[in-house]
Amino acid sequence: MTQKKLNELKALLAEVNDLNNAAAVLGWDQATYMPAGGSPARGRQMATLAKVAQEKFIDKRVGKLLDGLAKYEESLPYDSDDASYIRVTRHDYERALKVPPAFLAELNIHGAESYQTWTEARPANDFARVRPNLEKTLDLSRKLADFFPGYEHIADPLIDFADYGMKASSIRALFKELRENLVPIVKAITSQTPADDSCLRKHYPEAEQMKFGEDVVRQLGYDFNRGRIDKTHHPFMTSFSIGDVRITTRVKEDFLGETLFSNVHEAGHAMYEQGNDPAHEGTPLAGGTSAGVHESQSRLWENIVGRSRGFWEYFFPILQSKFPEQLKGVSLDQFYRAINKVEKSLIRTDADEVTYNLHVMLRLDFELQLLEGKLSIRDLPEAWHERFESDFGIVPPNDSDGVLQDVHWYGGIIGGAFQGYTLGNVMSALFYGEALKAHPEIPNEMKQGRFGTLHSWLTQNIYRHGRKYTAPELVKKVTGADLTIQPYIRYLKEKYGALYTL
């Protein structure tokens, strides 16, 4: 009987999974190859897939089967596949049940409209145009949170969507400590002569950049038999099954860093999902467990590996052979300094790994204040300017590169959108530190272009679990302790202490 129930549940959820993955294929196609004329129908098609998947997921039969499987679940070890399957499904199901479908539809339609307006308002530097949308987004975000009563902070349910197990209070405490450590480092570095990154800013033809970017991620362990790279306006990773995890990239012919680091970043996300236990294929256990853990993998590969001196001991001669003219006379140390240039800058996504977190903290604080009602949308642009000047010593010249720069608030909800980036940075150093404890040979292997030991350790300790453990559980399992910023701060101090006087 139990097995029959479990099989029935799995069959139901496999359909939901297929529908969601089909929607992801349509999304990928929309961003890569769809002709402009396909746009209106594509929006409808994706909305229909989401609606049908949601209807099938919140079907009462799912709840009944979960109830019927509760005793079986209790009889199993917590981290057995079956217990985890039932637990994660119940968590998703109960969360989905709390949000009325009509509200969800309203949220999605509003999100699409708001996104559309933003795509026009940002280039026009026209915050006034998106203001009514944003006010409604804030209103809907608060309503969404209120479907989850009993929260400590109104942002908690929204944070929980992305980073299950985290709360505004715990993130605030973590970010406070991080900020106290970061600000002096940023101050020390930015008062010194800036690094010269002119060697990255020559003409680097697209085809060669694409080829090199592909070769690098193949060598890191991204499996092209189960993935591919295409060009899009904004790079992203998307997954249709464990056997088909794709990344996208973009090229700037006048900046060498763009394609390469974007590829390594997205391949970090992709290797996480390619590394899922094949037994979890098509189930809610496949994927990544939280925004933060996902970002820890993109950041680990992009920054800790991809911007390390050891990595470039191996790759720089190869890069030089591809671009002999552009990199003539550039030393490894010059190149290494260039790709790790720290500077106060306007745009989060272009920021170096030291200042990056200050961008995130600013956004998180505004999200919390907006949701608390302590800040109004009307006052947001001015607040952004003030805070930015205070944190970065720069006044943004406009809203386009200020409050309008990130899509997050304009396409979805306000709350929970940004903390994952910094949680990811913090966890990237934490996990890497554990990998080094287990395999001190990793840095030396990297100097020889070998990444298999690191990739295997990550697969074994993080990737294969998929969503089996929550982020806090995973951190505890991997490190034996709760999340701490210390390894990240040590990493930054060590790396940047060698590049600058700290």
Residues 276-335 that bind a copy of itself (CB under 8 A): 281-282
Instruction: Indicate whether 39 belongs to the interface with a copy of itself (CB under 8 A).
Output: yes
Q: Binding string to a copy of itself for residues 434 to 463, with x set by CB under 8 A, is what?
A: ------------------------------
Residues 400 and 394 sit within 8 Å (Cβ to Cβ): no
**Sole binder of a copy of itself in the list 8, 12, 26, 257 (CB under 8 A):** 26
Count CB atoms within 10 A of the CB of residue 205: 13
Give residues with Cβ within 8 angstroms of 499, minimum separation 6: 195, 336, 337, 340
**Sole binder of a copy of itself in the list 106, 230, 313, 391 (CB under 8 A):** 230
Instruction: Indicate whether 413 belongs to the interface with a copy of itself (CB under 8 A).
Output: no
Residue in this structure with the two tokens 């990595």, named with its chain if needed: 311
Looking at the Cβ atoms of 219 and 453, the one nearer to a copy of itself is 219
What is the b/e burial string over 429-441, where b = at least 16 CB atoms within 10 angstroms of the residue's CB?
bbbbbbbeeeeee
Catalytic residues: 266
Nearest approach, Cβ of 244 to a copy of itself (angstroms)? 3
Give the Cα separation of 157 and 191 in Å (integer): 40
Helix axes 81-98, 39-57, angle to 10 degrees: 110
**Sole binder of a copy of itself in the list 41, 124, 394, 395 (CB under 8 A):** 41
Q: Binding string to a copy of itself for residues 186 to 225, with x set by CB under 8 A, is what?
A: -------------------------------------xxx
**Sole binder of a copy of itself in the list 6, 9, 13, 19 (CB under 8 A):** 19
Give the Cα separation of 235 and 265 in Å (integer): 9
Instruction: Indicate whether 15 belongs to the interface with a copy of itself (CB under 8 A).
Output: yes
Q: Binding string to a copy of itself for residues 83 to 122, with x set by CB under 8 A, is what?
A: ----------------------------------------
**Sole binder of a copy of itself in the list 2, 4, 7, 29 (CB under 8 A):** 29
DSSP state of 195: P
Residues 299 and 425 sit within 8 Å (Cβ to Cβ): yes
Contacts 24+ apart (CB under 8 A), 441-445: 443/308, 443/310, 444/310
Instruction: Indicate whether 236 belongs to the interface with a copy of itself (CB under 8 A).
Output: no
**Sole binder of a copy of itself in the list 5, 10, 42, 341 (CB under 8 A):** 42
Looking at the Cβ atoms of 45 and 334, the one nearer to a copy of itself is 45
The pair of structure tokens assigned to 371 is 């949701």
Q: By rule CB under 8 A, what count of residues binds a copy of itself?
A: 43
Q: Residue 405: phi, psi to the nearest 5?
A: -75, -35
Instruction: Indicate whether 240 belongs to the interface with a copy of itself (CB under 8 A).
Output: yes
Closest CA to 13 of 286, 237, 269: 286
Residues 385 and 324 sit within 8 Å (Cβ to Cβ): no
Residue in this structure with the two tokens 């295409």, named with its chain if needed: 230
Instruction: State whether residue 501 is helix, strand or coil.
Output: coil
Q: Which stretch binds a copy of itself (CB under 8 A): 44-52, 79-87, 143-151, 212-220?
A: 44-52
Contacting residues toward a copy of itself, per CB under 8 A: 14-15, 18-19, 21-23, 25-26, 28-29, 33-42, 44-45, 48-49, 51-52, 56, 223-228, 230, 240-244, 246, 281-282
